[in-house]
Chain A
Amino acid sequence: MTDELIRAVALADTPARMVMAVQNLAAAKDVAAIPTLIAVFGYNNPTAAAVAVAALTELGEVAVPQLLTQIDDYNYGARAYSIRTLAAIADPRALDVLIDAAATDFAPSVRRAAAKGLGSLHWHKLGFPESQTASQRALETLLFISQDPDWSIRYAAVVGLQALVKIPDLQQLIRARLEEMLATDAEKAVRARVQLAQG
């Protein structure tokens, strides 16, 4: 059954048929569909990709290992969808990939998705003391990219920091950095987002 749905994705010869085929495959909610859904990120069909993101996010943790290993290093559009999906699933095994993407990717869309995701991973799944060092590393990355020349990266860093502030040990550093950004950031839009984060 799923095999047929997978074949239909491969055979789709128009953008509209592709969307339809991916929707049908997504509805099967079958782990066997995971590699095909990830491959859809590379087809330059934003509607189909959005369906695949939603489907993989719903499958959740079981999709994480393949999402991590099948990131497309040569197509930043596809990579952004992978990072967005990992961020939405929020499995902390994605930490290293998200840190790499946020700090070193050349594509702003990838970096923004990673920055947002770094704030909201499910840290408790790691157990102690790993959860502590992991969230600390996420914080360091977000503090670093909160100084990026690109306003949209700083904006995304603020969104990440706002989510991370729920961790008591990190609050003091986050609040101090937000204060600093409010006082010094050249972009009104970034300062407004800082104010929203400060509540």
Chain B
Amino acid sequence: MIEPSEEQDSVENAPPLTPEQALANLQSSDLGLRYYAAWWLGKFQVNQPAAVDALIAALEDEADRTELGGYPLRRNAARALGKLGDPKAVPGLIKCLECSDFYVREAAAQSLEMLRATTAAPALMQLLDGGVAEAVQIVGRPHLTQPYEAVLEALGTIGATEAISLIEPFLEHSIPRVQCAAARAMYQLTQNSVYGERLVKILDGTDLKLRRVALGDLGAIGYIAAADAIAHAKVENSFKLIALKGLLEHQLVEELKILSLSDEAIRVMNLMDSLL
């Protein structure tokens, strides 16, 4: 069993840094220190302009390479920039969508989603070129030709309705997680409950990991009709709470610092209370 909020454990085992040190370490001759510093700046959301600039520069790093030609520092820099919330990073991240390293492309797509980068739509759509027929496993690697899940999710979140016809075929992709990402995006772009119900149906399935994925998706799209199904899903309470939090946040409208609590919002909170 894993609990999503327990990742801080790993932080306590790492050497303590300050923002200044992390920034300096990004230029260190020790590639391990650079890699760690990039992660650290994202984790602790050091969104000072100097940190953002240094991370954007790290997106073009050539020094840190894996045996298979990957770019570890670029991956961490791309991930960190999503967490820092500075739109200045968008052009560099869009460029990363063409990187030869799958994991750099994946991190860039995820961060562009976090930054709500609507200008990334054309570049993201390009990664869907060839459609489902091209979306196959790469021999000898644990991933597909492109980071389809991240790309579909990003297109949904940034509201790229022009991508609907490209996304829809992925509902029939052979990998259930990709289907989930497509259903999530289709719901976001159309608000049609058919797609929300596809995710609800997965909560009844036999695969625990997939049920967790579907919970995450339902929370992300705030599909309120799923509230009871989420509360009763056979998944750890921590995942259910996060999903219901997503539903709740979609129900809350902020008016001058005061939230208006609808009956639906109160119903979701009662379900959350029961899961404590």
Contacts and interface: CB of A to CB of B under 8 A. Distances in A.
A108 B5 contact: yes
B249 A189 contact: yes
Say which size band chain B's interface belongs to.
20 to 34
B249 A188 contact: yes
Nearest to B249: A188
Contacts of B259: 188, 191-192, 195
A107 B9 CA distance: 10
A44 B234 CA distance: 12
Contact of A156 (B257, B266, B276): B276
Contacts of B236: 109
A106 B249 contact: no
Contacts of A107: 3, 6
Interface stretch (A65-73, A137-145, A147-155): A147-155
Given A107-B6, A115-B276, A191-B259, A196 B241 contact: no
B20 interface: no
B265 interface: yes
Nearest to B274: A116
A116 B248 CA distance: 19
Contacts of A47: 234
B226 interface: no
A108 B249 contact: no
Contact of B254 (A106, A108, A155, A188): A188
Contacts of A106: 6, 9
Interface in B238-272: 238, 241-242, 245, 248-249, 252, 254, 257-259, 261, 265-266, 269, 272
Nearest to A197: B269
Contact of B269 (A113, A150, A156, A196): A196
A77 interface: yes
A155 B238 CA distance: 12
B276 A116 contact: yes
Interface in A141-199: 149-152, 155-156, 159, 183, 188-189, 191-193, 195-196
Contacts of A192: 248, 252, 259, 261, 265, 269
Interface residues of A, number: 28
A112 B5 contact: no
B6 A108 contact: yes
Nearest to B236: A109
A115 B241 CA distance: 15
B14 interface: no
A156 B254 CA distance: 22
A46 interface: yes
A44 B241 CA distance: 20
Given A188-B252, A188-B254, A150 B273 contact: no
A155 B261 contact: no
B254 to A, nearest CB: 7
Contacts of B241: 112, 152, 155
Given A46-B234, A109-B237, A195-B258, 8 more contacts: A108-B6, A112-B237, A113-B276, A149-B8, A152-B241, A152-B242, A195-B261, A196-B269
Interface of B: 1, 3, 5-6, 8-9, 234, 236-238, 241-242, 245, 248-249, 252, 254, 257-259, 261, 265-266, 269, 272-273, 276
25 contacts: A47-B234, A107-B3, A108-B5, A109-B3, A109-B236, A109-B238, A112-B276, A116-B273, A116-B276, A152-B241, A152-B242, A152-B245, A155-B241, A155-B276, A156-B276, A183-B257, A188-B259, A189-B245, A192-B252, A192-B269, A193-B269, A195-B258, A195-B259, A195-B261, A196-B269
